[in-house]
C-alpha cells in the first residue's frame, strides 16, 4: 500500500507543473490587439530607411513588406496617385522605387486603436508621421489612417488603407 502512494506523488507534481505552465502560456500569450499593433511596427520597420542601405537589406525589408500585405489591397488616400485596388507586388515595386529617391525615411505610427470585427477581420485607426530626406529635399507629414486587416494563416495581413476624415480640413 505504501508503494502506491509514492507513485502518485511524482505524477501529481508533474500534472501540477504542466497545469501551471499551461496557465502561464494562456495568460501571457499576446492578444489579437497586440498582434495587430506588432504588425504596424513591422510595417514601419519595412518602410524605414536610414543612410546608405545595401541591396541585401533593402531586399529583406521588401520581403518583410510582402509578408505584411494581402494579395489585393484597397487604397483610398488623398493625393496618392495609385488609389483603388492594387496588388501586393505593385505596392512593393512602388515602395522599392520610392525608397530609392530618399537617403532617409522615418515612419512613426502612434495611437493605434484596434477594432476587432470578428476572429478574422479587424480595423485599426492610427496616426502616421512620415519624414523623408534626400540631398536637396526634406519633408514630413502627419496623417490619420484607417487600416483593414484580415487574419490569414494565423497572421494578420493588411487588406486596405484609407485616410480617416478626422484630421481632414
DSSP string for 11-66: HHHHHHHHHHHHHHHHHHSPPHHHHHHHHHHHHHHHH-B-SS--HHHHHHHHHHHH
Predicted pLDDT at 166: 63
**pTM, two decimal places:** 0.80
Q: Comparing C-alpha atoms, which of 95, 97, 102 is closest to residue 161?
A: 95
Predicted pLDDT at 5: 59
CB 47 within 8 A of CB 34: no
Predicted pLDDT at 2: 53
Predicted pLDDT at 1: 47
Low-confidence residues of the chain, pLDDT below 70? 1-5, 166-169
Predicted pLDDT at 21: 83
Predicted pLDDT at 22: 83
Angle at 19 between CA 18 and CA 23, to 5 degrees: 115
Amino acid at each position: 500500500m505504501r508503494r502506491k502512494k509514492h507513485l502518485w506523488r511524482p505524477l501529481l507534481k508533474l500534472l501540477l507543473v504542466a497545469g501551471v505552465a499551461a496557465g502561464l502560456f494562456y495568460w501571457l500569450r499576446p492578444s489579437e490587439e497586440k498582434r495587430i499593433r506588432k504588425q504596424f511596427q513591422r510595417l514601419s520597420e519595412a518602410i524605414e530607411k536610414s543612410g546608405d542601405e545595401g541591396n541585401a537589406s533593402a531586399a529583406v525589408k521588401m520581403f518583410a513588406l510582402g509578408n505584411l500585405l494581402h494579395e489585393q489591397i484597397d487604397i483610398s488616400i488623398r493625393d496618392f496617385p495609385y488609389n483603388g485596388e492594387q496588388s501586393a507586388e505593385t505596392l512593393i515595386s512602388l515602395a522599392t522605387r520610392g525608397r530609392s529617391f530618399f537617403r532617409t525615411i522615418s515612419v512613426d505610427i502612434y495611437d493605434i486603436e484596434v477594432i476587432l470585427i470578428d476572429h478574422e477581420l479587424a480595423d485599426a485607426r492610427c496616426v502616421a508621421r512620415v519624414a523623408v530626406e534626400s540631398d536637396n529635399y526634406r519633408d514630413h507629414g502627419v496623417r490619420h489612417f484607417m487600416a483593414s486587416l484580415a487574419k490569414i494563416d494565423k497572421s494578420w495581413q493588411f487588406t486596405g488603407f484609407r485616410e480617416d476624415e478626422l484630421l481632414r480640413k
